[in-house]
Chains A and B, each alone.
Chain A
């Protein structure tokens, strides 16, 4: 059974359509990167999953439980870190955790367990008012982990962190499924973060899910690309015309897009041979790594003309 399933989830704010018939599936044990630019509807969707907002249409299930019908049972399966941490600055880290622990009816040892997971045991006695943003994020994560919920919903967990904080958070998020066994739904607008952390992705654009799938498979389906720098682009283009690929001019190079499934190494070797044989000086011939950015640009560009966010 998938950890999270939504079907036709929709939410409007007045005339603004924030989430449009969102149907997504988060497999159990996945780190699911929920991608989209600011205002794409990610937070609204997450709030509907948590029962904080009521959908105008559609339904959401967490661990098989319909959130709309039984919010409390669904919430028992979920730990959440929201964009606003909601920590009390007048209390210590441990006191903050203890409040949620009491509300969840958990034993006191849970606090030490989650502090250990986020490596914050040493700072738990200090008031949260004196914490850095990174420490607050980690404490928020510790709070989400209380009771070891099978599903974690994390809204922009790297927001506002410095580079070291982002690296720490990335390392931590990657290790979460192994350390806790939880399925993680992680929203972000940072492609690099999702690429290095997620096993699955869903891309939201203008409130609509425009792509979903396993990240490795999506990348494998991308056509291979090669960047080429030569001394004579005009002559090179005529050599390249004999190969099955698409050539695009870049400011200082040629961009070659191969056909899906084409062997990039064999093609590069063949290109190199032909260019040298034609007396063309080859400065660089570099296969481009398949990136999430490529996927993101392709799907958002394809769905870009649509502007019905406001109906």
Chain B
């Protein structure tokens, strides 16, 4: 399994997927820099870090999870390399599982980069404009834990996007699904039913009480099941 995973990681070399993994957290960092710079008085560290996690969970994560599986899947669909891969003496489920692990790894890296780049952006803004240096101490561990819960709640959305992107050789179904899901998540942010909507589960983890628990349990639990089902289905189906 390690060799298959290593192959997947090496395929990312000079790929658009890797570029996206760097670009998305950078955009949040750029926004954080200009957002904090417009203030004249300092705010607490918690405010900036939580805002960054919120933007990530609300918009950038769903959009990234739309594009990333599509780009990773197109690395095989575009040169039509599934036939080559699937004809090798390697269990097919490993090929798909390695792709999935690779994609989840990239989302984890993006989450970590989101935290690191936001911290850097705030520090940079405070260095250029000392009057706005945030108060208190940045709770890096707490923010990392929150990001981990956001990712866990997003697993169902990740599974749906991964499945669609791998199943269809055209990138359109995966993009249309992801853009549609993100659109409804954004325009119906306040909807109570949003906690049951895969594209809103990540942002619902930022709430408290039953919404937090339900989003985490449904997104994480169903997400893991859906990911397993996706790998099983993809490895058994014929690619015509």
Interface residues of A in 68-88 (CB under 8 A from B): 72-73, 75-76, 78, 80, 82, 84-88
The smallest C-beta distance from A67 to any residue of chain B, in angstroms, reads 11
> Would you call B6 and A52 a contact (CB within 8 A)?
no
CB-CB nearest in chain B for A149: B89
Chain B residues near A173 (CB-CB < 8 A): none
Could you say which residues of chain B place their CB within 8 Å of the CB of A80?
A: 84, 87
Docked complex Cα distance between A105 and B90 (Å): 10
**How many residues does chain B have at the interface if contact means C-beta atoms less than 8 Å apart?**
27
Q: Give, as a whole number of angstroms, the nearest-CB distance from B236 to chain A.
A: 10
Asked whether A103 lies within 8 Å of B83 as measured between CB atoms, the reply is no
B75 located at the interface, meaning its Cβ lies under 8 Å from any Cβ of chain A in the complex: yes
Q: When the two chains form the complex, which single residue of B7, B76, B89 contacts A75, counting CB atoms closer than 8 Å?
A: B89
Contact B83 A47 (CB under 8 A): yes
**What is the 8 Å Cβ interface bit string for chain A, positions 84-95, against chain B (1 contact, 0 not)?**
111111110001
Task: Contact check, B83 vs A84: say whether CB atoms are below 8 A apart.
Answer: yes
A13→B238 CA distance, assembly (Å): 12
Q: In the complex, are the beta carbons of A100 and B88 less than 8 A apart? A: yes
Whether A72 pairs with B6 at a CB distance below 8 angstroms is no
Residue of A nearest to B75 (CB): A88
B88 pairs with A91, CB closer than 8 A: no
Chain A residues positioned under 8 Å from B238 (CB to CB) = 52-54
Nearest Cβ in chain A — how far from B108, in angstroms?
23
B15: A residues at CB distance < 8 A: 90
Residue of B nearest to A129 (CB): B14
The answer to whether A99 and B10 touch across the interface, beta carbons within 8 angstroms, is yes
- Establish whether residues B11 and A91, one from each chain, have CB atoms under 8 Å apart when the complex forms: yes
Q: How far is the CA of A75 from the CA of B240 in the complex (A)?
A: 19
Roughly how many angstroms separate A89 CA and B11 CA in the complex, as a whole number? Answer: 10
Query: A53-B238, A98-B10, A102-B7 are contacts. A86–B90 as well, Cβ < 8 Å?
Result: no
Query: Which A residue sits closest to B6, measured CB to CB?
Result: A102
Considering only residues 104-140 of chain A, those with a C-beta below 8 Å from chain B are: 104-105, 127
Which one of B3, B13, B84, B89 lies within 8 Å of A82 (CB-CB)?
B84
Contact with A along B66-89 (1 / 0, CB 8 A): 000000000110011111111111
B107 at the binding interface (Cβ < 8 Å): no
**Is A89 within 8 A of B86, CB to CB?**
no
| Closest-CB distance, B102 to chain A (whole angstroms) | 13
Report the 10 A-B pairs with minimum CB-CB distance, sorted nearest first: A86-B81, A84-B80, A86-B84, A75-B89, A50-B87, A90-B14, A76-B89, A72-B89, A99-B7, A82-B83
Residues of A participating in the B interface, judged by any CB pair closer than 8 Å: 13, 47, 50-54, 72-73, 75-76, 78, 80, 82, 84-91, 95, 98-100, 102-105, 127, 143
